[in-house]
Amino acid sequence: MFQRGQRAQPDAPAPTAGTVRLRIRRYDPDRDPEPHWETYQAPRQPGDRLLDALHHVKWYVDGSLSFRRSCAHGVCGSDAMRVNGVNRLACKVLLKDLGDEVRVEPIQGLPLAKDLIVDMEPFFASYRAVMPYLITAGHEPTRERLQPPEQRDRYDDTTKCILCAACTGSCPVYWVDGRYVGPATIVNAHRFIFDSRDTAAGVRLEILKGRDGVFRCRIRRWPASNSSSPKTRRAGAARTPCTGATSTCCARP
Ligand code: FES
């Protein structure tokens, strides 16, 4: 029975047949002038994900390691990180697919806060700018707003974005100029522009047409390693009238 104020400790890890070597880029703004690499060993069971290895380090080796995670099932988008040079969700990627040594870094293009945590505010500011919510005109309806399946299908892919920022954090244009709206914002603008119930497509298109909008995208020149997304890989697949330049979407399958 736990006493008041006592912290729960996870059970000790089960014996394991193999281990994985983690090279993790660490940075503590209160102590470190620059980021640096540290190396850890973690057990590797069949079916383990990178998040399991990070938990092992955090719980049993070095409690100061900082990273975000919440759902652990590829839903919340908290744990996007750069894994062996490609942005992935730590809770979705299997250790068996990463080799015996795994390099783990924060995603690029956003200010580094601590260890694997970046400041997401610039990303969400850009997202908010395209008004990612339904805008309608006229009187309040007396029943739900119905929509035929074929109209719903037009934006089905872009409803699946989980705002993990893996796509935006792998965008070279965004790395050099954070004013660019970035792929996730384009994806979420698309979701409402092509919604037949919405009436503000023109306003969103004006925003996307601007200096920092879709025409800065150079996706067709991206190397394959930078266009990877943690879930489905749709880079270059969603050419639409609104993007004119398309999106790199980490939408759920
Ligand atoms: Fe929620 Fe990975 S922890 S998506």
Can you give the residue ranges of every domain in the chain? 18-118, 121-137+148-226
| Residue at token pair 């900082």 | 66
Most informative mutation of 70, 93, 231, 252 for ligand 1 (most atoms within 8 A of CB): 70
The whole-model pTM stands at 0.82
pLDDT, one tens digit per residue, over 25-72 is: 999 999 999 999 999 999 999 999 999 999 999 999 999 999 999 999
Atom of ligand 1 nearest to the CA of 75: 4
Q: Which of 54, 68, 71 to mutate to test the pocket of ligand 1 (most atoms within 8 A of CB)?
A: 71
- The 10s digit of each residue's pLDDT in 73-96 is 999 999 999 999 999 999 999 999
Residue 69 · residue 162 · CB < 8 Å: no
Q: Is the CB of 131 under 6 A from ligand 1?
A: no
Asked if 232 contacts 204 with a C-beta cutoff of 8 angstroms, the reply is no
In whole angstroms, give the CA distance from residue 175 to residue 129. 19
Quick check: CB of 74 below 6 Å from ligand 1? yes
Do 35 and 113 form a contact (C-beta atoms < 8 A)?
no
Structural contact between residues 183 and 168, judged by C-beta atoms closer than 8 angstroms: yes
Phi, psi of 190 (to 5 degrees): -55, -40
Whole-number Å distance, alpha carbon 235 to ligand 1 midpoint, is 21
Atom of ligand 1 nearest to the CA of 91: 2
107-123: pLDDT as tens digits: 999 999 999 999 999 99
Mean pLDDT of the chain: 85
105 lines ligand 1 (CB under 6 A): no
Fold: same for 18-118 and 121-137+148-226: no
Query: CA torsion angle for 218, 219, 223, 229 (degrees, to 10)?
Result: 140
Architecture of domain 18-118: Roll (3.10)
Range 121-137+148-226 has CATH code 1.10.1060.10 = yes
